[in-house]
Amino acid sequence: MSSSLRGAFAATLIVVFGLPALADGDPAQGEKVFKKCLACHSVAVGAPSKVGPNLHDVAGRKTGTFEGFKFSKVMIGMGEEGHVWTPEELDKFLENPKSVAPGTKMTFAGLKKAEERADVIAYLISLHPEGAAAQAAPETEGTPTD
């Protein structure tokens, strides 16, 4: 008379994917990945923007606000709504720029490999760690040491 309880647990299965690759990014590898960005982005302090804005301090920067660069409406709007380039937001944007910022002027297909994104984000953070730290949780974010 007891019925099977099969399936009773099925509905409670929740798989939570963290962002392990993001935390593991390697700035040195990221500098190589960044060659794909160099055609359009400068990174040296004070270097003039190219087709895209200078990214020296983009980690932690408010979206669409780099002085003197003419951003698309969508990027300006994101910034006005308080969007900031945290590692998570960079990850989403770099995977598929057009889905995060529909109508963006950045004509770049995206980095499909999570590892490449993690590396390039680590590289951008390494260029301006204080900006990223200001946005991160106050606990230690840890610079990669290996």
Asked if 71 is part of the footprint of ligand HEC (rule: CB under 6 A), the reply reads: yes
Beta carbons within 10 angstroms of residue 55's beta carbon: 23
Asked if 53 is part of the footprint of ligand HEC (rule: CB under 6 A), the reply reads: yes
**Site for ligand HEC, residues 33 to 52, rule: CB under 6 A:** 36-37, 39-41, 51-52
Among 22, 111, 122, 127, binds ligand HEC (CB under 6 A): 111
**Site for ligand HEC, residues 3 to 32, rule: CB under 6 A:** none
- Where on the phi/psi map is residue 143: left (φ > 0), alpha (ψ -120 to 50), or beta? beta
Long-range contacts, stretch 13-19, CB < 8 angstroms, 24+ apart:
19/87, 19/88, 19/91
CA 76-80-84 angle, to 5 degrees, is 85
Question: Which residues here bind ligand HEC, judged by CB under 6 A?
Answer: 36-37, 39-41, 51-53, 55, 58, 61, 63-64, 66, 71-72, 74-75, 85, 90, 94, 101, 104-108, 111, 120
